[in-house]
Amino acid sequence: MILVLLFLGQPAVTSTKVCEGAIQLNWPAISSATSYNVLQLNGDSMKLIGNTSSLSYLITGLDKNNTYWFGVAAKNGAVAGRRSLSVQARPDSGTCTLSNFNNDLKVDSILEPNTARQFFSTESNASKPVKISIKNLGTIAVTGPYNVTFDYGTGSVTEIVNTTINAGASLIYTFTGMYPLPPGQGYQYNFKAWVTKAADNNHLNDTAYKTVKLINNSPITTLPLSEGFESMPVAEFTSNEMAVGGNKYLDFFPNSIRGRARTFVNSGIALTGSRALTLGPGTLQCCCYHRQRCAQL
């Protein structure tokens, strides 16, 4: 009986910012490898996102504002070797010279409408027409027609655009179609907007998302006002949000990348009930009804 031991080497991986929202991984060949698994950090573990027989892998559809970790493991048949050391990458730039990005249009962001409070001077910001920024990531101009669409949860609006977008340039487009404005004590819309071009083969970056609220700012008629946070969900907040967690009294504005607010950490923290607002190095503002002074915690 002959026992054959096969040891697969550990790839040495490098990452390159090839375009906004895209990272290319490269590594040298590993002896006896027939393919390579590509992995990405998701939560607390590395998850398989692809397999290739080549020595590079292009990852698209990433958020340009996020940092990612990737790794590669050599395979021989169904057997995988030791994963590489993970490499960190933030896809916030790049020359976009690969042919993959030709005719690649993305909705970079939904610029309007924006969350606002009733009775404030900015109230109308929450009822403006949908305005988006469309970016051409490639090195050639993209000509029309192409479709733009926004969805507001219970319906959608699609319009045709014929404006040429030069290489690397952006177009600001405002929809003529409108979403309904419910009467009464505020509303919330979870918008998504996307662009559709027949020659665009990368659909992972077509769409942008945005939650917009018109926050109920009814007068406070009884004082003192007490808030126990029991109606808030178990959640952690790390980015700017007005009416955080559905609580119309509170806005959250972290003053560092580590800023956070949590409604539940562990049992025994709350004075009563199960909820307590626990703050990291962030700033929590109590919303000002009728332009009263805000309190900072």
Domains and CATH numbers, the chain: 14-89 (2.60.40.10), 99-215 (2.60.40.10), 236-291 (no CATH)
What residues in the chain have per-residue pLDDT under 50?
286-297
Contact call for residues 129 and 165 (beta carbons, < 8 A): no
Locate 270 and state its tokens.
């709350």
- Closest to 126 measured CA to CA, from 62, 43, 33, 188: 188
CA atoms within 13 A on the CB side of 41: 13
Contact call for residues 115 and 126 (beta carbons, < 8 A): yes
pLDDT score for 3: 61
Q: For residue range 136-178, list pLDDT tens digits in order.
A: 999 999 999 999 999 999 999 999 999 999 999 999 999 999 9
Q: Rounded to an integer, what distance in angstroms lies between the CA atom of residue 57 and that of residue 11?
A: 13
pLDDT score for 281: 64
pTM of the model: 0.82
pLDDT score for 283: 53
